[in-house]
Structure 1
Amino acid sequence: MNRLGAFYDRFILPHPWLILSLFSVLLALTALRFDQFRLDASAESLVLENDRSLEQYRQVNRTFTTSDDFLVVTYTPHDPLFTAEGLERLRQLRDELQSLESVSSTNSILNVPLLHSPDLTLETVDTEIRTLDEHNVAPEISRQALLDSPMYPNLLISEDGQTTAIQVNLPTPARYFDLLNQRDELRTQADQGEATEDEFNTINAEFIRYSAQLGQERDATIEAVRAILDRYRDHASIHLGGVPMIVADMIRFIESDLSTFGLGVLAFLLLTLALIFRQWRWVLVPLLCCGFTVWIMIGVLGWAQWPVTVISSNFISLLLIMTLSLTIHLIVRYREFQHDEPDAAPRTTLRNTLLTMIRPCFYMAITTIVAFGSLTFSGIRPVIDFGWMMTLGLSVAFLITFLIFPALLSLLPPPIDRRVSSDSVPFTDAFARFTERFRATVLISAAALAILCIIGLNRLTVENSFIDYFKASTEIHQGMITIDDRLGGTTPLDVVITDLPAPDTQLQDPFASDCDPFLDDCDDYRDTWYTYQKMRQLGAVHDYLHSLPETGKVLSIQTTLALLAQVNGGKPLDALELAFVPAAVPDNLKSILLTPYISEEHDKARFSIRILETLPDLRRQELLDKIRHHLSTELGYDPDRIQLSGMTVMYNNMLQSLFDSQIKTIGVVFAAILAMFLLLFRSLKLALVGMAPNLIAAGSVLGLMGWLGIPLDMMTITVAAITVGIAVDDTIHYIHRFQTEFQKDGDYIATMHRCHRSIGKAMFYTSLTIIAGFSILVLSNFIPTIYFGLFTGFAMFMALLGALTLLPRLIIMVRPFSTL
């Protein structure tokens, strides 16, 4: 401590202007890359580290020439759709959307083939196909043709014919995938020592720049689409949906929350600090410290080209919490020294404050870093990054608090506040009296709360829907409901069946054996999928997937066969007709009817499914397990031949990994914190006592979520680490102060009352300021942000309650300190 005092006496306190000048240079350097600070909600930000699901998803898209890179415009006209005027207005809208530079094509009821002609047969399909765009088809005939088709209802048109959809295709350029593959290859080579880090960093920087450029172009396109749609809303109810829009709106809401609510939080913090301390210095200095911490971290993330994702978007709010907590503890201690030694020089008071508080604050920072460090063991890159961001951010917050705070206060020494008194703090005094008087009540209440927490924890789930992220008043929420209810579902899921070749492939002529491949299941013949037996098997898969309550529209080769059967006079295709399906389908329709569902080159069949996001009981993991189990046990497919892919799978993998790495391993986190307490307090009894309020606080937040039925998702699941970090703060500060105060008279009860009047004030002010500041987040349109604000406030309250009741009660009962 003498060395630390000498450090402050020699370098910090005598030279505040020099410290602030050097710090200003650092601020200027970090500000140079503010423009590189970015948000990322791409597919990579929602998958596991090295998860093969993303590559499988891309491989499926390449194999079947499909993509989820499209917007869905739902169009419900106020007047009848199938009139000359109604179709013409829809055509105008479609043409405006298609004219956008980034739009490659559109699909709608205007350009899809209508199978209504009485002259249409399998032989004349190439010449008799009609479309609304190219032929003069009566509106009512076209309506019936669309509704009678097995493909279009509940996809491009609602079953009542009143709502239609325009699919606006936004293809990702090939350059993106080229850079992505180069980056992944160089990463692998760098790990194996076959490439240098500089080579990898160069291509990674280029990939990041190009991804950011594509993101900006995609956002501009979506805004242009919205502007076009606004011009047609007088005549129709229009909603916009699709995976790109979900991504764009998530980023838009987060950016809005970071700016709008960031300023709102700061305003609330300013107001609360002003009401508590009533001196402008005690408002300005902590806000400057908080602002400097966020400033530096944003600059560092920009320099490192380290993207902020949906998961880590709350790191700014958390840094505000932690930095504010540190500064409030210093402020309260400074004011106590002013009250106890009113004649002391301001520098002496400041020096005593720093030397007294640096140890507990250092302990708090280190232990909180351990709590957030647990996130680095996750398998998800954005969660790992969040852990490292908070680790670095907490280090920055600690350094700013104990370097910049004293420099600012040296230049702005606050006058003595005569209202400061260690004898009258009604709120904390009430807790001290309650803890002293109702000893059994505190312990019984804690035990009952622990039981409720355990029950609530068992109710936790990791299932939720994207629609739950947005308020009912938002366009994206309304669009998802419309798409789910009328147009077949929102989130894509692909089921791919691989027809593996038989071991003996020497038989090339299917008619050289007694087995007829068009009538029987000939194991030795795998040259074509278009046999009666295989199509019957695929039909069983299609029927099963369609029967599931979680699925909306299901498309497969069976949809095409049903459509061709309709062309064939309503008769199912026989074995010979099945064999000639690839030849019978016109080349310009193969990309619609065949290649999305059958790849003979890769020997795969695909089922395209849309999951109903609005289903209240949606359980992704149960659904995926159920599909795999049925296909393998009931339909006899080898599990190795079954592949589930798509956004549904990737998002589910992320949620399940979060659950495994954060909830199931939370015991490991607490074990690490217990080890830290043992190191800090050098007492097993005291370490165990200190763990109790942390367990109660974390369990209370997670238990409350379980009781309320709020599922864990990619944002709320980190609340465990957040709560532990907050609770650890109060615990360490209280125990450290208790140790100091106990040495005065060795009286546990008197020490408790003194602690409640001193460090208890700082804990109360910190909690009150943060709860008030973050209450403004409930006004957000992004539900995870609302939950973050509510659960942060609740975590602060539970941590304060545990530290002011359970913690002193256990200390008094266990008596871990030696008497004088």
Structure 2
Amino acid sequence: MKKLFKVGFWEFIARIVLKNRLAILGLILIITVSLALQWKNIQFSFTEANLLPDNNNVNTEYNAFLEKFGEEGNLIVVGVQDDAFFTPKVFAAWNKLMTEIKAQKEIDLVVSINDLKQLKKNDSLQTFEMVPFVDESKTTSQAYLNSIKKDLFQNMPFYEGLLFNKENGSLRSAIYMDKKIVNTAHRKDYIVNDFIPKIKAFEQETGVDLRVSGMPYIRTLNAMSILNEISLFIGASLLITSLIFFFFFRSFRATLIAILIVIVGVMWTFGLLGLFNYHITVLTALVPTLVIVIGIPNCIFLTNKYQQEYVLHGNKAKALQRVITKVGTATLMTNLTTAAGFATFIITSSQLLKEFGIISSLSIMALFFLCLITIPIYYSYQPVPRPKHLEHLKRNYTKVFMEWIEKMVKYNRRYVYAVAIALFVISSYGALQIQTSGSLIEDMPQNTDFFRDIQFFEKEFNGVMPLEITIDTKRKKGVMKSSTLRRMDELQKTIDSIPELSKPISIVNLVKYSKQAYYNGNPEYYDLPSSQEQSFILSYAKNATKDTKENIMKSYVDSDGQTARITTFMKDIGTGNMSKIENELLAKTNKIFPKERYNVVMTGKALVFEKGTKYLLDNLVSSLLFAVFLICMLMVFMFRSFKMVVVSVIPNLLPLMITAGLMGYFGIPLKPSTILVFSIAFGLSVDDTIHFLAQYRQELAHNNWKIKKSVFATLKEAGLSMFYTSVVLFAGFSVFMLSDFGGTVALGGLIAMTLLFGMLSNLMLLPCLVLTLNKTLANKQEFPEPTVDVVPKATKIDPSEL
């Protein structure tokens, strides 16, 4: 391994690259075209991210629920809160809208006031009949509409919570999509091209504002927001990092090749997504921007080295070869540590994170080779750098900044330690205040209409996230037993008493409605029938609603009558509060339903996501620890010195602690999007440490093992590149703060902040530690020959050999 990374190896690579420039450029073109052909396989994820392993018990229970009752997340709700609703013009427009929606093949069922059915007793046939609640021939009369409004709110408790809020007068329609298309691209096409235009047409015609929500609708608009942000991030990051690059180097040629390289890198990333048949998710959508943000610093480092070499000896050929021979291993190891920060997500059991880790780490390593090969080839065809292009090497503002750093390290080391310790203590206290959070809609764009509609339904109908409870009676037709119905009713009363949950829906509601219908629609009889009433009331119900298309309760009991389902909806309350509700309901179910007679399971998208969030947080803590361990092992492998490992870890853990402290003080919760920060930032921040320590190890040999002289020589040699790359990374990750997604904003802002602290820590605390932990003179025993020559010795290269 050591021989592989010796200078001779990189000389060999340099000769191959510079002697076969056109062939290599052709190979890059072939790879780019081949990966571009894979773009056709790129798909967007049409389901929510499942953060749990497939074999997890929560997933097993949820899949069993879907197999028995079908897809649960197929409900779209259209709501309205306007006194003008019960006027002839608006009611007619509403009737037209719902009729058009119901006629679509993508819709399975529509439950709306205009075509509402009510149970009526038919004594002659001894059955219940479903009769229209609204007589369409009379809806042109304002007096009639006023009467049905009164009748609805006073005499139809079965539909309360489902279609109306009695207290606030809010109304809504329940639209059930065909379960077969809910998780397909067809869902998006229908909602965007058909459903939404109909909603807008109604609003324009009547002036009444409609509220739309439900999981199919939310997922569609959320997915569109993610897709729109991909182009926003790519464009913004490319613009900002390119401007910074140009500001540093003042060269259009240098900026042009940097832009071209990262664009090709982005094309490769999309190609890898298609090659592996991975879906675009909220995480993989970030990878193209990460390629730009990480690729530009690579270009800065290589371009800076080329210009430094040219200034030293004025030989273009030698400078080009030394770009590869002198920094080949350095850039390889720094990109390896960065890729390691992402690759640690692969060890988690979450498919979402695995795909993100695989694509990001492969893209970073592919970008490294692309930069290392393309930049020397490009400059071999370009004229030598002009004096104005080299001015940044001695620019005043960078010179002043680096002189201040040197002054702090040389004369104020105690203050540096005091500030570092104080920040660590203060941050540790703040880190203890961090709360855990996570929900299906927490990080969705909060300035969009569909998010405001979610808030409307949370306020008026207590949420849109389904929570399901199944009751297995362990015997056929056990659901309709009087004892089972009463137990279910008791559980539903508990659910109804929890403010964060909506009014539950189950077969119990239909049985209660049957009793009310038997007593001629009197709402006072909306209750479970007594044991004496049950036999003759249920005999009426057996023949009711034979048209299953109109039977909204058809999905609440399985075909054998053995298992019942209770559905409620939950507000966006976060994982902590959800756990409390879950524990409360589990305690109640264990009390109501004896385990020897019933098997009760709580499931649904809301619960699956809550469990997935907890699981993911535990796994990400493990991945962070693994990232630290892996990078420490890389340090041991590279430098073979325990002191090197100590001084490399401390300056990079401190910024992570500061970020954790700020999260605690500012109330930023720990959730999947924010915990990603630590592994990614650690992998990026340690790059500066590698550059510094590698250069320091080389300076020791050049300066007769004099530590102080070597430290300050290292700051002069490596400090400028560390500053440049950190600025680009800070600005690049700040681009994510343009997002409408709270998680993406937190990810970008926290990584940018961590990298800023990491730069200062590596430029100030790291050299201080090196000076403190070593004596005035070092020796070769303390710093043995490194396994990998990250910064090789100067070599004599004959330009004629190129």
Q: For this structure pair, what is the TM-score category when the shorter chain's length is used for normalisation?
A: 0.7 to 0.9
Partner of 2:345: 375
CA–CA distance in 1 between the matches of 2:381 and 2:394? 27
Task: Check conservation: 1:72, 1:166, Cα contact below 8 A.
Answer: yes
Offset of residue 123 of structure 1: 8.2
Number of the residue aligned with 2:695: 737
Distance 1:82 1:736 in 2: 77
Helix, strand or coil for the counterpart of 1:549? Answer: coil
Aligned to 1:164: 171
Rounded Cα–Cα distance in structure 1 between residues aligned with 2:619 and 2:245: 38
TM-aligned CA distance change 1:691 to 1:49, over 3 Å: farther
Matching of residues 174-185 of structure 1 within 5 Å: none
> For 2:284, what is the secondary structure of its paired residue?
coil
The alpha-carbon distance between structure 1 residues 729 and 583, as it changes in their structure 2 partners (threshold 3 A), is farther
State the partner residue of 2:150: 144
Letter in 2 for 1:26: I
Contact 2:320 2:376 in 1 (8 A): yes
Could you give the per-residue CA deviations for residues 740-775 of structure 1, whole angstroms, max 9, x where no partner exists? 223332443333333333322112111222323443
CA contact (8 A) 2:294 2:729 kept: no
Answer whether contact 2:489 2:508 (CA < 8 A) is retained.
yes
Kindly report which structure 2 residues correspond to 1:504-519, keeping only aligned pairs within 5 A, or say none.
Answer: none
Please say if 1:660 is aligned against 2:660: no
Q: Say yes or no: does 1:302 pair with 2:274.
A: yes
User: Contact between 2:593 and 2:600, CA under 8 Å: does it hold in 1?
Assistant: no
Q: Does 1:609 align with 2:556?
A: no
Deviation at 1:161, TM superposition (A): 6.1
Q: Residues of 1 paired with 2:532 and 2:199: CA distance?
A: 48
Cα 1:5–1:381 shift into 2, 3 Å: closer
CA distance in 2 between partners of 1:642 and 1:245 (Å): 30
Q: Which residue of 2 aligns with 1:91?
A: 95
Q: Which whole-Å CA distance do the structure 1 matches of 2:67 and 2:10 have between them?
A: 66
Shift of 1:422: 5.5
Among the aligned pairs, what percent are the same residue? 19
Measure, in 2, the Cα distance between the counterparts of 1:407 and 1:465: 49
Query: Structure 1: which amino acid aligns with 2:368?
Result: F
1:130 aligns with 2:115: no
Tell me the residue number matched to 2:356. Answer: 386
Where in structure 2 are there 5+ consecutive unaligned residues? Answer: 1-5, 781-802
Q: Counterpart of 2:175 in 1: which secondary structure?
A: strand
TM-score (norm. length: structure 2)? 0.87
Residues 64-109 of structure 1 deviation map (CA, whole Å, 9 limit, x = unaligned): 46632132222334x5222333321211221232344423332212
CA distance in 1 between counterparts of 2:275 and 2:552 reads 49
C-alpha spacing 1:801/1:588, structure 2 compared with 1 (3 Å): farther
1:82 aligns with 2:96: no
Conserved 8 A contact 1:323-1:397:
yes
Structure 1: gaps of 5 or more residues: 177-210, 502-525
Paired residue secondary structure (1:687): helix
Q: TM-score, normalised by structure 1?
A: 0.85
Q: Does 1:454 align with 2:428?
A: yes
Q: Is the 8 A contact 1:429 1:753 kept in 2?
A: no
User: Which residue matches 1:800?
Assistant: 759
- CA apart distance, 1:723: 0.9
Amino acid at match of 1:331: T
Contact 2:474 2:597 in 1 (8 A): no
Q: SS where residue 247 of structure 2 aligns?
A: helix
| C-alpha spacing 1:778/1:593, structure 2 compared with 1 (3 Å) | closer
Instruction: Kindly provide the amino acid, as one letter, of the partner of residue 424 in structure 2.
Output: A
Query: C-alpha separation between the residues in 2 aligned to 1:422 and 1:729?
Result: 24
Mapped partners of 1:244, 1:564: distance in 2 = 31
Q: Report the Cα offset of residue 464 of structure 1.
A: 2.7
1:679 equivalent in structure 2: 637
The CA deviation at 1:402 is: 1.6
Structure 1 residues 279 and 136, CA, compared in 2 at 3 Å: closer, same or farther?
same
Secondary structure of the 1:607 match is: strand
1:578 aligns with 2:508: no
In structure 2, relative to structure 1, the CA distance for the partners of 1:753 and 1:121 (3 Å cut) is farther
User: What CA distance in whole angstroms lies between the structure 2 residues aligned with 1:532 and 1:91?
Assistant: 39
Counterpart AA for 1:83:
T
SS of the residue corresponding to residue 107 of structure 2 reads coil
Measured in 2, the distance between the counterparts of 1:252 and 1:279 equals 38
Decide whether the 8 Å contact of 2:556 with 2:564 is kept in 1.
Answer: yes
Q: Which amino acid aligns with 2:173?
A: I
- Residues 474-623 of structure 1: matches in 2 within 5 Å? 474-500=448-474, 527-567=477-517, 568=519, 569=522, 570-571=524-525, 572=527, 573-579=529-535, 582-585=538-541, 586-588=544-546, 592=551, 594-599=553-558, 601=560, 603-613=562-572, 615=573, 619-623=577-581
Counterparts in 2 of 1:418 and 1:729: CA distance versus 1, 3 Å:
closer
Q: Partners of 1:672 and 1:327 in 2: how far apart?
A: 26
Which residue of 1 is the match for residue 376 of structure 2? 406
Rounded Cα–Cα distance in structure 2 between residues aligned with 1:423 and 1:221: 56
- Secondary structure, counterpart of 1:758 in structure 2: helix
Determine helix, strand or coil for the equivalent of 2:116: coil
CA-CA distance at 1:133 after TM superposition? 6.3
Asked if the contact 1:620/1:652 (under 8 Å) is kept, the reply is yes
Say which SS state the counterpart of residue 81 (structure 2) adopts: strand
Q: Distance in 2 between matches of 1:617 and 1:700?
A: 25
Q: For the residues of structure 2 that align with 1:449 and 1:84, how far apart are their CA atoms?
A: 67
Q: Paired residue for 2:664, among 706, 715, 724?
A: 706
Q: Is the partner of 2:113 in helix, strand or coil? A: coil
Alignment match of 1:24 (pick from 29, 32, 35): 29
Of 287, 307, 310, 2:259 maps to 287
Partner in structure 2 of residue 108 of structure 1: 112
The residue aligned with 1:691 is 649
Deviations 1:537-586 (A, max 9, x none): 22221111222232123222333343334333424411133345553221
Q: How far is 1:280 from its partner? A: 1.4
Map Cα deviations across residues 662-686 of structure 1 (whole Å, 9 max, x no partner): 1255333322222221111101121
In structure 1, distance between residues paired with 2:123 and 2:769: 85
Q: Does 1:15 align with 2:20?
A: yes
Partner-residue secondary structure (3-state), 1:49: coil
Whether 2:356 is the aligned partner of 1:352: answer no
1:124 Cα deviation after fit: 6.5
1:818 aligned residue: 778
Structure 1 SS opposite 2:159: coil
Whether 2:712 is the aligned partner of 1:753: answer yes
**How far is the alpha carbon of 1:618 from its aligned partner?**
6.1
SS in 2 for 1:104: strand
1:165 partner amino acid: R
Q: CA RMSD in A?
A: 2.9
The letter for the 2-side match of 1:154 is G
The letter of the residue matching 1:390 is S
3-state DSSP class of the match of 2:165? coil
Q: Shift in Å at residue 492 of structure 1?
A: 0.3
Displacement of 1:407 in angstroms is: 1.5
Q: Which amino acid aligns with 2:579?
A: Q
CA drift of 1:162 comes to: 4.0
Contact (CA 8 Å) 2:457, 2:463: kept in 1 or not? yes
Question: Is contact 2:76–2:217 with CA below 8 Å preserved after alignment?
Answer: yes
Contact 2:52 2:615 in 1 (8 A): no
In 2, the alpha carbon distance for the partners of 1:677 and 1:639 equals 60
**Residue in 2 aligned with 1:246?**
218
Mapped contact 1:726–1:795 kept (Cα < 8 A):
no
Post-superposition CA distance 1:453-498 (Å, at most 9, x none): 4334433344233443234430111110111111331100001122
Preserved CA contact (<8 Å) 1:498 1:642 = yes
Task: Pick which of 795-804 and 572-581 moved more.
Answer: 572-581
Distance 1:439 1:754 in 2: 17
Structure 2 partner of 1:183? none
Q: Secondary structure at the match of 1:599?
A: coil
User: Cα deviation per residue 1:2-39 (whole Å; 9 max; x = unaligned)?
Assistant: 43244235311133222112211211111112232232
Please state how far the C-alpha of 1:370 moved relative to its aligned partner.
Answer: 2.7
Asked if the contact 1:497–1:606 (Cα under 8 Å) also holds between the matched residues in 2, the reply is yes
Alignment length (residue pairs)? 753
Contact 1:556 1:597 in 2 (8 A): yes
What amino acid is aligned across from residue 797 of structure 1 in structure 2?
A: L
The answer to which of 375-384 and 656-665 deviates more is 656-665
